[in-house]
Amino acid sequence: MAEWRALTDPRTEPAAAHLKLAWWREEIGRLSCGSPLHPITRYLAALPGASGADAAPLGSALDAAAAEVDGVPLERRDDLERHAGALQGAPLRFAATLSAAAADSARLQGCVTMLAAAQYLTRTVVEYRRDARAGRIPFAVDELLAAGIENDDLVAVEPPARLRSHLDTLRARADGYFTAAGAALHPAERAPLRHLLVLAALGRAQLHRRRDPAVPDFRLSDLYNAWNTARRAVTAR
Please check whether residues 54 and 97 belong to one and the same domain: no
Indicate the residue type of 141.
V
Half-sphere exposure of 74 (CA within 13 A, CB side): 22
Please check whether residues 96 and 212 belong to one and the same domain: yes
Please check whether residues 101 and 193 belong to one and the same domain: yes
Please check whether residues 20 and 104 belong to one and the same domain: no
Of 3-12, 24-33, 141-150, least confident by mean pLDDT is 3-12
Please check whether residues 25 and 120 belong to one and the same domain: no
Identify which has the larger pLDDT, 127 or 208: 127
Q: Encode 65-77: b = buried (16+ Cβ within 10 Å), e = exposed.
A: bbbbbeeebbeee
pLDDT of 164 reads 96
pLDDT in tens, 177-209: 999 998 998 888 888 888 889 889 888 888 877
pLDDT of 2 reads 83
Query: Which range, 48-52, 57-61, 104-108, 225-229, is most confident?
Result: 57-61
Please check whether residues 66 and 111 belong to one and the same domain: no
pLDDT of 237 reads 46
Please check whether residues 115 and 43 belong to one and the same domain: no
How much of the chain, in percent, has pLDDT values that exceed 70? 86
User: pLDDT category, 234, cuts 50, 70, 90?
Assistant: low
Please check whether residues 99 and 20 belong to one and the same domain: no
Residue 185 inside a domain? The answer is yes
Give the mean pLDDT of 145-161. 96
pLDDT in tens, 72-81: 999 999 999 9
Q: Residue 149: pLDDT above 70?
A: yes
Q: Round to whole Å and give the CA distance between 140 and 120.
A: 12
Domain count of the chain? 2
Q: Round to whole Å and give the CA distance between 113 and 96.
A: 13
pTM for the whole structure: 0.85
State which of 72, 96, 119 marks the end of a domain.
72
Domain interval for residue 192: 87-237
State which of 24, 43, 72 marks the end of a domain.
72
Q: What is the residue-averaged pLDDT of the chain?
A: 87
**CATH (domain of 211):** 1.10.600.10
Residue 202 inside a domain? The answer is yes
Please check whether residues 132 and 206 belong to one and the same domain: yes
